[in-house]
Amino acid sequence: MALKWSDVTPEADYLCRRAFLATGVAALATPALGLGGKPSGLSTDETPNSFEDITNYNNFYEFGTGKTDPAQYAGSLKTAPWSVQIDGMVDRPGSYGVEDLTPEAALEERVYRLRCVEGWSMVIPWLGVPLAGVLGKAGVQPGAKYVAFRTLHDPEQMPGQRSRVIDWPYREGLRLDEAMHPLTILATGLYGRVLPNQNGAPIRLVVPWKYGFKSIKSLVSITLTDKQPQTSWQMLQPGEYGFYANVNPQVDHPRWSQATERRIGSGLFGGRQETLMFNGYGDQVAGLYAGMDLAKHY
Ligand SMILES: Nc1nc2c(c(=O)[nH]1)N[C@H]1C(S)=C(S)[C@@H](COP(=O)(O)O)O[C@H]1N2
Ligand SMILES: [Mo]
């Protein structure tokens, strides 16, 4: 059985602990060991980025558009108590507490590549649960075809929402089969720790074969629907950002190539590496798009 990254890497653990203290993330019940989390065969064996990279280079426009704004400003977001409204075409609509959706004993470690549409990437050891199980708790009705997600809308706590860069709240969506795919998780932690606010605490979506903007942070609602939901980036620039947003080195952004990416932490001379179709998850997900023109459905 594979060990968790955090079991075998004292250096990462050290970096993690140091950054953990420095960023003042709330302590866990088991601070010495961190949260458990069963390792998963769905993880990459690539070296994860350091905790410091993962928590200091972020996109979270609710706290500003600069990469270091979230680390600087997201700390004050009140992440407990927190519940997620699950509604629409489900048998058991309602408000679900994060602890009930993601019990500690159910957490799995998933080391995933994250490829931002801007052309940079990281490897992040998430802790989370498959979204499929969460949707199962609510009971998806037969007519549902899509899942719509929303982030908290609270300009008092999220100062970035006082300016209209986005039509708040931040919205995302998946086709139901994408949402039910075993790679799709709701994360509540990383590096064996509770999720830092800048990474979307207390609960965020992670869909590793799609551009990072699909992985919506600080979720407050999940709605099952039969219509393709509107999504924030598509609403803003439909010619640049599509609903599918599958990582695809052959379909360039209108303003830049998507053929390569810069791995954060690779250093000044790290150069760029080739971007992989579906961010390297093609074996698992290509079947979802059989027969679709991926240049048209970008
Ligand atoms: N609510 C919300 N979710 C969001 C964003 C955001 O601005 N607001 N940015 C997205 C983008 S563009 C990326 S690349 C990832 C970054 O996740 P990370 O900061 O945890 O690496 O979050 C995504 N989720
Ligand atoms: Mo992104």
- Which range is most confident: 11-20, 32-41, 181-190? 181-190
| 178, 13 Cβ separation under 8 angstroms | no
The confidence score (pLDDT) of residue 35 equals 79
User: 25: which DSSP letter?
Assistant: P
What is the token pair recorded at 195?
């999720």
Query: Domain containing 249 — which CATH number?
Result: 3.90.420.10
Question: Position of tokens 């139901």?
Answer: 176
User: What confidence tens digit (pLDDT) does each residue in 248-279 have?
Assistant: 999 999 999 999 999 999 887 878 999 999 99
User: Does the residue 96 lie in any domain?
Assistant: yes
What is the token pair recorded at 276?
């992989």
- Binding residues for Mo-molybdopterin, by number, are 58, 61-62, 116, 151, 199, 204, 215-217
What's the pTM?
0.91
Asked if residue 170 has its Cβ within 6 Å of ligand 1, the reply is yes
Asked if residue 57 has its Cβ within 6 Å of ligand 1, the reply is no
60, 163, 172, 261, best to mutate for ligand 1 pocket (most atoms within 8 Å of CB):
60
Alpha carbon of 105 to ligand 2 centroid (Å): 30
User: Does the residue 117 lie in any domain?
Assistant: yes
Alpha carbon of 262 to ligand 2 centroid (Å): 13
DSSP 169-180: SPEEEEEHHHHT
| 240, 256 Cβ separation under 8 angstroms | no
Mean pLDDT of 144-171: 98
How many Cβ atoms are within 10 Å of 95's Cβ, its own excluded?
A: 11
User: What confidence tens digit (pLDDT) does each residue in 18-28 have?
Assistant: 344 333 333 33
Q: What does the angle CA 218 – CA 158 – CA 199 come to, to the nearest 5 degrees?
A: 35
| 223, 147 Cβ separation under 8 angstroms | yes
User: Does the residue 119 lie in any domain?
Assistant: yes
Alpha carbon of 220 to ligand 1 centroid (Å): 15
| 225, 86 Cβ separation under 8 angstroms | no
The confidence score (pLDDT) of residue 9 equals 44
The confidence score (pLDDT) of residue 34 equals 67
User: What confidence tens digit (pLDDT) does each residue in 101-153 have?
Assistant: 999 999 999 999 999 999 999 999 999 999 999 999 999 999 999 999 999 99
User: Does the residue 161 lie in any domain?
Assistant: yes
Domain carrying residue 236: 43-284
User: Does the residue 38 lie in any domain?
Assistant: no
Spatial separation of the C-alpha atoms in residues 80 and 99, rounded to whole Å:
10
User: What confidence tens digit (pLDDT) does each residue in 176-212 have?
Assistant: 999 999 999 999 999 999 999 999 999 999 999 999 9
User: Does the residue 22 lie in any domain?
Assistant: no
User: Does the residue 74 lie in any domain?
Assistant: yes
Mean per-residue pLDDT of the chain: 91
158, 193, 213, 261, best to mutate for ligand 1 pocket (most atoms within 8 Å of CB):
213
Count up the domains in the chain and report the number. Answer: 1
User: Does the residue 260 lie in any domain?
Assistant: yes
